[in-house]
Each structure stands twice: as C-alpha cells, then as structure tokens.
A and B are shown apart, each in its own frame.
Chain A
Amino acid sequence: MILYTLKRIVALVPLLVVISFLTFILNGLSPMNPAEVVLHAQGVPTITEELIASTRVELGMDRPLLVRYGDWLLSCLQLDFGNSYITGKPVWSLLGPALLNTLKLTIISSLFIIVISIVLGVVCALKEGKWMDLSIRGISFFLTSMPAYWLAALMVWCFAVKLDLLPTSGMGSAGSYVLPVMVIVIGYAGIYFRVIRSSMLSNLNDDYVLYGRACGMSEMKLTLYVLRNSLQVAVSVFGLAFPIILGSTVVVENIFAWPGLGTLTVKSILGRDFPIIQAYVLVLAVAFVLFNTVSDVMNVAMNPRLRKEL
C-alpha cells in the first residue's frame, strides 16, 4: 500500500513537468506578440518596432525557450506568476483571493452534492422501478439538460426579484451563497446520484446479499452492508468531481458576479491578460492531477479487490 502510494507520487513528477511545460508554451499560441500586448494593455499610444524590440528584451523574451521555462517554473513554485499585463499587479495577489472565493463556493457546493446524491441514489435504488425512482430520475434528467445560466437567471428572477428573499449577486452575506450553490448542486447532483444508484443496484444484486437474505439477516442490516460497499465508488467519484466543479463554476460565477476564479478568468480573456490565464490553467491542472492521485490511492486503500491487481 505504501509502495503503491510512493509509486503514484513518483509518477506524478513527469506528468507535472509536462503539464507545466504545456502551460508555459500556451503563450506562444497567441497570434499576437506578447510585447505588443503588454504595450497595448499599458495604453502606450504609438507602438513602434523599436519599442516592441526593447520591451521584448525587458521582458526577457529574447532568451532560449528552455531557459525561460526553467526561470518561469522556479518562480511559479514560489507562487510568483509574474505581473498582470493590464493592472501591473502581481498575478498571485489577484488570483489568490479569487481562488479562495471559488474554493468556498466549491467546497460548500460539493458537500451538498455529496449528501444529496447519496440520499437520492440510495432512495432510488431501494425503490427501483417504483414511482419515486422514476419521478426523481425524470426530474433530474430534465434539470441536467438545462443550461446553468438559464437556471440561474430563472432563480434570480424568482427568488431575488419576485420574492425579494436573496441578493442577486456579489458575495456579501451568507444569503448570497444560496443561489449559486443551488445552481451548481442541481447541475451535478443530477449526474452523480445516478452513479450511486447504479452502484447500489449492482451491489444489491450481488451474491452476498442473496446469501445474507437466505441466512435470515434483517433487511436493515443488509442495506447497511450494501451501502458501505457502494460508498467505495462514491469516494472515487467525488474525489474526481471536486476539481471538475472547481473548474466549471465559470458560468455561475459570472452570472452572480462572484469575485472568484471564473469571473477573473473571463475578464482576463476579454482583456488578453495572458499571465493570469496561464496561472489559472496551471493551478487548476495541478489541482486536477493531485486530486486524481489522491482519489485513486484512497480507492485502493478502501477496496482490497483493487489491491490484488497491483
């Protein structure tokens, strides 16, 4: 087990290097010369060839690619992602607080998603084929086909404008969490409860349940056993879900003017503020990879059947 964990950690290193390199050369994709972008962003009135050339030297862009990559990686490890092209402030001073706000939103939403999908999944599996199962699945099917922003607009219109219960945007009081969290939870719980449901169902039809029932074990106790086994799937599912939710709050944040990563990124994309976009991609990709590894390791720790294959 410890060996497996170590192996996974060692395997992370090359992956992280490749990811960071890809993120680094992402800048080169842009059809515009970065020096030119900087000058544009700073509002320099007339941009001459010489000015571009001198800015290039100033930004250190005339050095070989690998040297620049090394420097960039070292400073990134110290959370120094350079300065924003537009405001000139360090990227981390903008990204850090935004990341924190997005994390708050994501953690609260994830907790609700986990609880709601487990409850719905278990209820649907135990009532399989009955009206309860059918109606929950029908409603969730409909809800997951809805665009998040449409749902959000509908909710703002209903709860904030008509009923005047909750704030429409920003991140002031606890009430401002309600609508964004609701939109995120509806989108994801509808997907994840199905996973819990099918995992419960496959366990319910397993031989050990039949055996337990034949031995006269009470239904309550059997359900608990099945639940415990089904939750193994849940662990790996939710481990993977967290970074996905973290990365896809973009639309919701923009609608509710949540001062998080999504709002910052879309603003940076429209303003062509490359260092922020680059830092955003790097932070989220690293988080994604780390979470994948943690959830894999946890899964193996919990499920002895997987350990045999190592």
Chain B
Amino acid sequence: MKLFDRFLKDRLAVASLAVVAATLLIGLCAPLIAPHPPNEVNLELRFASASWTYWLGNDHLGRCILSRLIYGIRPSVLWVLAALGAAAFFGAVLGFVAGYFRGRTDAVLMRLCDVMLSFPGYVMTLAIVGMLGAGLTNILLAFVVMKWAWFARVIRTTVMQYADADYVNYAKVLGIGHLGIMKRHIAPAALPEIAVIASSAFGSMILQISGLSFLGLGIEAPHAEWGMMMNEARSVMFTRPELMFAPGLAIIVVVSSVNFLSDALQKALDPKLVLSGKRASILNGKILRGLRKKEAA
C-alpha cells in the first residue's frame, strides 16, 4: 500500500478526497439531508432571498435552491460516476484481452478503437443524443459508447507492460491459466493505473454533462440538475445573478477537487513526475500520451 501512504502525505489531495467523498455521500442520502422536497413549488416565495428556512433562497418557481442543489448531485455527479464506471469496465475487459492475448484479437479490437476514436468526443455525444432524443439516459449512454474505446486503448498499453514481465512468463510455464494470471499477476498491478486514468476523465465528464443539460439536451424539466438550474437562472441572470452562483460554485468545487485528486493519484503512482524539474527526463512520447488522454477526456 505504498501508493496509499504516499497519497495520504499530500494534504491537498486528502482535502479533495474529503470533498469528493462528502459530495457522493450527500448525493446518496439526499432525501435525508435536503430540508425541502426539491420539486415543491411555492409561488409566494418566487425569487425569495436567503432565509432561515430556505438557506440559499428560492428560484423562479419558489423551489428551495439548497434542496435542488443537493438532489442535483445525483444526475450531475453520481450518474456520471456510474457511466464512467461502466465505460471503464468495458474498456478494461477489452483492454485486458487485447493487451494480454495480442495477435489478431488485439489488431481487430484496436482497429475498432481507431474508428470510435476518430469521432471527436463532443460530436459523438451530440450525434447519439440527436438520434435517440434528449435526456439524461441517452447522454450517459453516449458517454459509455464514446469512452470505452479510449479506456480500452490506454488500459491495453498498461497491460502490455506487465504481460511481458518475467513473473508472468514464469506463471505461464507453471501452467497457471490465463484468467488466473490476469487476476493474480496483472490486475493488481494495472488497477491503480486504471483508477488514475478514470479519475482524469471524471472532471471533464461532469463539465460536459452539465453543459449539455444547460443546452436543454439533458435531464427533463422538473428534475434538479446543476446545468439545468443554471439554464433556468439564465433568464434572470441580470437581475438575480446569485441564482447562477450556487450551482456554478458547486460544479467548480467538485470538478477542481476531482482534478486535484486525479493529479495527486498520478503523483502517488509515479513519484518521478514530482521530481520532473530535477532529474526525471520525460520523453516527448510520454507527454504526448498524457495529452491524448486529456484530449479524449
């Protein structure tokens, strides 16, 4: 657990982990925490400012902004996490198969990935949402369809490093089955890297999904979602700018915590990066690979 120890030494990382964990927990327990039902319309309280019963005030239908913010965690963060998990899972399975067995399987899978990756991310999402219709489910589906290829590509590279290791060859000679080798010798080594890769995509996915909701392509009307809340606040942006601040700040806090977390994980995984100024020489290829990751994200 060297990785974990190194991670805990980084205070900023622990703080951002706390923020992310708290957000997830609040989202999961939304009905217990939210002071009011999120869709309760109360027209006398239209645009009311903050009070003791409504901590963040009320929106254009008199709904409690704090409660909507809390319920908004579900589509804005929790469901994105689920989509990310699904994409990472499919990508990991295919990446393992391609990276471990190599040969023709690898070639076919990678050509497939090439095709998928030749559609720029945003365009693919819009295409799927355009054909299936607007809605949160379709956006999440689009994310999974779009992201698995990228995960498969990156995870394959990771797996390949270990698939050639001497201890893996030794295990093969001993007659341990493919599944056993993958489970016992490759997965434990590759999993932390997969975690880093997945976390680096999380922040930009949260931003994208709220952006699509902001455009009206996401979740349907009465449900609370951060991008949607900002879209609703847009019409009164000039008279009541504070209505845009609450969901905006929520997104900034969550996304920057996620990004910090991912950076910290990466540093914990590869301490050489921290020393980059002093010793480690990062070759052009490595930078480019990192960049491709960013792009796909």
A residues apposed to B, CB below 8 Å: 15, 18-19, 22-23, 26-27, 29-31, 128-129, 141-142, 144-150, 153-154, 156-157, 161, 191, 195, 198-199, 201-202, 205-206, 232-233, 236-237, 240-241, 243-244, 246-248, 250-251, 254, 265-266, 268-270, 272, 274, 277, 280-281, 284-285, 288-289, 292, 303
Contact B122 A232 (CB under 8 A): no
Pick from A29, A145, A153, A274: contact of B237, CB under 8 Å = A153
Q: Does B130 lie within 8 Å of A274, measured CB to CB? A: yes
Chain A residues within an 8 Å CB radius of B210: 147
Closest residue on chain A to residue B112 by CB atoms: A18
Name the residue among A141, A146, A147, A149 with the largest chain B CB count within 10 angstroms.
A147
Let me know if A237 and B217 touch, CB within 8 A.
Answer: no
The docked-state distance in angstroms from the alpha carbon of A236 to that of B121 is 19
User: Is residue B178 contacting chain A, with contact meaning CB distance below 8 A?
Assistant: no
26 A–B contact pairs at CB < 8 A? A15-B114, A26-B127, A31-B132, A146-B255, A147-B211, A153-B244, A191-B294, A195-B290, A198-B282, A199-B284, A202-B284, A205-B278, A205-B279, A205-B280, A206-B281, A232-B284, A233-B287, A236-B288, A240-B291, A244-B120, A248-B120, A250-B122, A251-B214, A277-B126, A281-B123, A289-B118
How many angstroms between the C-alpha atoms of A30 and B130 in the bound complex? 9
- CB contacts (< 8 Å) of A254 on chain B: these are 215
Which B residues between 231 and 263 are near A, CB-CB below 8 angstroms? 234, 237-238, 241, 244, 248, 251-252, 255-256, 259
The number of chain B residues touching the other chain, given as a range, is 35 or more
A147:B251 contact, CB within 8 angstroms: yes
The proximity string for B residues 284-297 relative to A, scoring 1 for CB distances below 8 Å and 0 otherwise, is 10011011101100
Hey, which bits of chain B sit against chain A, CB under 8 A? Answer: 114-115, 118-124, 126-134, 203, 207, 210-211, 214-217, 227, 230, 234, 237-238, 241, 244, 248, 251-252, 255-256, 259, 276-284, 287-288, 290-292, 294-295
Residue from B128, B244, B281 within 8 A of A202 (CB atoms) = B281
Chain B residue nearest to A299 in the complex (CB): B288
Closest 8 CB pairs of A and B: A145-B256, A277-B130, A247-B120, A150-B248, A269-B130, A202-B282, A29-B131, A145-B255
